Amino acid sequence: MSRHSSAAPDRASTLSFWLLLAFLAILWVSGGASRADVLGQAFVRSSAWLIIVVAILALPRVDWRAVREPAIVLGAAALLLIFQSVPLPPAIWTELPGRAIFNEAAILAGVDQPWRPLSISPSGTSNALASLVVPTAVLLLAGNLTREQHWRVAVFVLFLAGAGAVLGVLQFSGAKFGNPLINSVTGAVAGNFANRNHFALFLAVGCVLALAWAFREKAGLWKTGTAFGLLVIFVLMILATGSRSGVVVGLLGIMLALLAFREEIARKFRILHRRYSVALIILAIVAVIGVIWLSIYLERAASVERATLLEGESDLRLQIWPIVLDMTRAYFPVGTGFGTFDPAYRIGEPDSQLNTHYVNLAHNDWLQVVLEGGVLGLVLLAASFLWFGLRSFNAWCVPDNRPGSCSLARTGSIVIVLILTASITDYPARTPMVMALLALAAIWLMKGKSKGRISLIPESG
Query: pLDDT for 256-276, tens place per residue?
Result: 999 988 877 777 666 655 555
Angle (CA) 210 441 261, round 5°? 40
Assess whether pLDDT exceeds 50 at residue 313.
no
Contacts of 331 (CB under 8 A, 6+ apart): 97, 98, 344, 371, 374
The pLDDT of residue 441: 96
Distance CA 357, CA 255 (A): 36
Query: Residue 87 belongs to what H/E stretch?
Result: strand 87-88
Query: Residue 325 belongs to what H/E stretch?
Result: helix 316-331
Assess whether pLDDT exceeds 50 at residue 399.
yes
Query: Per mean pLDDT, which range of 59-68, 175-184, 303-312, 338-347 is the poorest?
Result: 303-312
In the structure, what pLDDT confidence band is assigned to residue 100 with cuts at 50, 70 and 90?
confident
More confident of the two residues 371 and 262: 371
More confident of the two residues 61 and 132: 132
Mean pLDDT of the chain: 83
Beta bridge partner(s), residue 117: 87
- What value does the mean pLDDT take over residues 117-122? 93
The pLDDT of residue 54: 93
Assess whether pLDDT exceeds 70 at residue 297.
no
Report percent pLDDT > 70 for the chain.
81
Distance CA 371, CA 181 (A): 29
Query: pLDDT for 132-146, tens place per residue?
Result: 999 999 999 998 998
Assess whether pLDDT exceeds 90 at residue 224.
no
The pLDDT of residue 156: 97
Q: Are 204 and 197 in contact (CB under 8 A)?
A: no
Assess whether pLDDT exceeds 50 at residue 451.
no
Query: Per mean pLDDT, which range of 11-20, 40-49, 185-194 is the poorest?
Result: 185-194
More confident of the two residues 291 and 194: 194
Q: Are 118 and 96 in contact (CB under 8 A)?
A: yes
Assess whether pLDDT exceeds 90 at residue 327.
yes
Q: Are 44 and 435 in contact (CB under 8 A)?
A: no
Counting other chains too, the contacts that 402-407 makes at CB distance below 8 Å and 24 or more residues apart are 403/217, 403/218, 404/216, 404/217, 405/448, 405/449, 406/260, 406/448, 406/449, 407/212, 407/216, 407/217, 407/260, 407/261, 407/448
The pLDDT of residue 407: 87
Q: Are 103 and 321 in contact (CB under 8 A)?
A: no
How does DSSP assign 256-293, residue by residue? HHHHHTHHHHHHHHHHS-HHHHHHHHHHHHHHHHHHHH
Contacts of 45 (CB under 8 A, 6+ apart): 130, 131, 133, 134
Tally of helices (H runs) and strands (E runs) in the chain? 19, 2
- What value does the mean pLDDT take over residues 108-123? 88
Query: Per mean pLDDT, which range of 117-126, 165-174, 205-214 is the poorest?
Result: 165-174
Q: Which of 342, 413, 341, 408 is nearest to 377 (CA)?
A: 341
